[in-house]
Structure 1
Amino acid sequence: MSQNLKSVQEHFDAAAPIDVSETFATWLALVERLRARLAERFELTRDPSSEVLESFGGNGGPTGRVRTYAGPEIDWLVHSHMENAALGFCNVHLTVWLGPQVRVPHFGMALGAFPHGWVYLDSVPRSNLLTDTDSFDRYYAPINARWEQIRTENTFLEPFVSRSAFVRAGLSPTAHCYMAPPDSRTTDLVAEIAEEHLERWLGWVDEAERVPLEEQAELAASDEAIRRNIAERDPANEMGDRFFGPDMTTTLVRALWGGDRVLARAHERG
């Protein structure tokens, strides 16, 4: 149990330096395929605030990139990575925060290695599912059997349990959050789950009823508070401090939630 409760930093520090460049390249390619699929479905414009984050770090050390987008249906999309792959660390993000025109859960995905493989994939709740039983019954209950199947049939997956109570509070009941060997068993399974989840999520968006206009501002405010709190309270921000310094980490965290955005939010567009 104590091993399961190690932080990202502790896993990284306890391991001998192992080059995870191959895993990093595999995660990048998967996320790029999913991002391209999103670009087919949604109108997206890159937010100018992230252009300065197209490339940071380097000189033989850690590097990173953050690209953020917005559009009529998408309040904030983050496509990013940071890595020190030669020494055993990488992290790749694709998160999609919908505008308040629908109540579909947001799309959350992060893949990494430190140096063991790490996977997070979730339908980020926008409400308290204990009271919003309509959302629970529509989006979570129907995929519980698939969640259970993945957990029981793939014994090489080890649940990753954060010591942070806040992080645990943010996970849905069907979240996938695992550590696993960084080999083809893991990467093939993650590609299958991720592509399946994205197509299902796109179907949810297409089938969703529109939120009444008078309710959208409140939902948008709640969405931004969730996004900001998740970004600012992430214990793994310590790895950003270590690799890039606290000032750059502050800038990166603000990019994740849209603190310096230039484009209008989805509900503010005409």
Structure 2
Amino acid sequence: MKDTPQHVEQLLDQSPTTDVTETFEEFKDLLGELKAKIDARFELTRDPASPGEYGTHPDGPGGRLDAYAGPEIDWLVHSWLGHPAASFANLHLTAWLGPRIRVPHLGIALLVWPEGWFYQDFIPRTSLTRDSGHFDRYYAPLDAAWLAFKEDNPEFVWFTSRSAFIRASLSPNAYCYSFPRARRHLDAVRDLLHARVDRWLEWVAGAEPVPAAERAGLAAADLAVRRNIAERDPANVMGVRYFGEELTGRLVRGLWGGDRELPRPS
């Protein structure tokens, strides 16, 4: 594979129709394992406004979106959308921390279209070029492993989004790769994601509290980042294709908390 910037729908339409249900179920199980680690650390409550299950899967396109919040988590999204029998599935597990600590947020996405694709990032809470101490604490120590991953997995191809905004949202240590769905590649993704979630939980355990006077500003900035990423995601076009504008709009709001009923953590 070569790095050829294309829209999601173009990549899907140019590929033969393939039943990717087996990989989809494996990805679902993987995100379930990772969420269980998060559940063991945080107090979480499912927001009543979460869209839940929708569509006609397995007979046609479908999905599920569950969002959670708690004293330490502003918004956690566990979701999938797609039509696995017809080549496409998009899965998310993203945890947005509340303003009590300044640890980066956790972002994970998995895609089948019908090749494999994955994204993982620690979403910054500040400007990394301005706050060099934050960079040194959370990002510099990951650099060697980030470089080694590509050297150890040459069949993984960096995915360049056609959206400049999405490219701007990535940290220096983001993983954003397409890959053939061979067993060794799926195992590499599994091992990496488990290690990254473990690292994130270690950061949370060792974080110092943010001064009370700075928390409102941090919470506002976090919400702006989350909303912008959700609303500008190029993959939203697949939701419109499968479910129309109205339901897709509700799903996008579910990603950032636009219809939330639970209070935000202070």
Q: TM-score, normalised by structure 1?
A: 0.96
Q: What is residue 71 of structure 2 aligned with on the other side?
A: 72
Distance 2:125 2:39 in 1: 23
Gaps of 5+ in 2: none
- Say yes or no: does 1:91 pair with 2:73: no
Compared CA separation, residues 227 and 185, structure 1 to 2 (3 A): same
Distance 2:13 2:241 in 1: 12
Q: What is residue 31 of structure 1 aligned with on the other side?
A: 31
Q: What is residue 42 of structure 1 aligned with on the other side?
A: 42
Q: What is residue 114 of structure 2 aligned with on the other side?
A: 115
Q: What is residue 102 of structure 2 aligned with on the other side?
A: 103
Tell me the alpha carbon deviations over residues 166-198 of structure 1, each in whole angstroms, 9 at most, x when there is no partner. Answer: 000000000000000112122100111000000
Say how many residue pairs are matched. Answer: 265
Give yes or no for contact 2:118–2:176 (8 Å, CA) kept in 1. Answer: yes
Compared CA separation, residues 3 and 201, structure 1 to 2 (3 A): closer
3-state SS of the aligned residue for 1:81? strand
Give yes or no for contact 1:64–1:83 (8 Å, CA) kept in 2. Answer: yes
Question: How far did residue 127 of structure 1 move?
Answer: 1.1
Distance 1:186 1:264 in 2: 40
3-state SS of the aligned residue for 1:49? coil
Q: What is residue 9 of structure 2 aligned with on the other side?
A: 9
Letter paired with 1:32? G
Tell me the alpha carbon deviations over residues 106-164 of structure 1, each in whole angstroms, 9 at most, x when there is no partner. Answer: 00000011111010000001111100111110010001000000011101100000011
Q: How does 1:46-195 map to 2 (within 5 A)?
A: 46-50=46-50, 53-58=51-56, 60-195=59-194
Give yes or no for contact 1:4–1:159 (8 Å, CA) kept in 2. Answer: no
Q: Using the aligned pairs only, state the percent identity.
A: 51
Aligned-CA RMSD value: 1.1
Letter paired with 1:54? G
Question: How far did residue 2 of structure 1 move?
Answer: 8.0
Give yes or no for contact 1:20–1:113 (8 Å, CA) kept in 2. Answer: yes
Q: What is residue 241 of structure 2 aligned with on the other side?
A: 242
Question: How far did residue 4 of structure 1 move?
Answer: 2.1
3-state SS of the aligned residue for 2:122? strand
Question: How far did residue 55 of structure 1 move?
Answer: 1.2
Letter paired with 1:57? G
Question: How far did residue 20 of structure 1 move?
Answer: 0.6
Distance 1:75 1:97 in 2: 6
Gaps of 5+ in 1: none
Distance 2:185 2:219 in 1: 35
Q: How does 1:219-234 map to 2 (within 5 A)?
A: 219-234=218-233
Q: TM-score, normalised by structure 2?
A: 0.98
Letter paired with 2:257? G
Letter paired with 1:44? L
Q: What is residue 256 of structure 2 aligned with on the other side?
A: 257
- Say yes or no: does 1:203 pair with 2:202: yes
Give yes or no for contact 2:155–2:180 (8 Å, CA) kept in 1. Answer: yes
Compared CA separation, residues 116 and 197, structure 1 to 2 (3 A): same
Give yes or no for contact 2:15–2:114 (8 Å, CA) kept in 1. Answer: yes
3-state SS of the aligned residue for 1:260? coil
Distance 1:145 1:2 in 2: 24
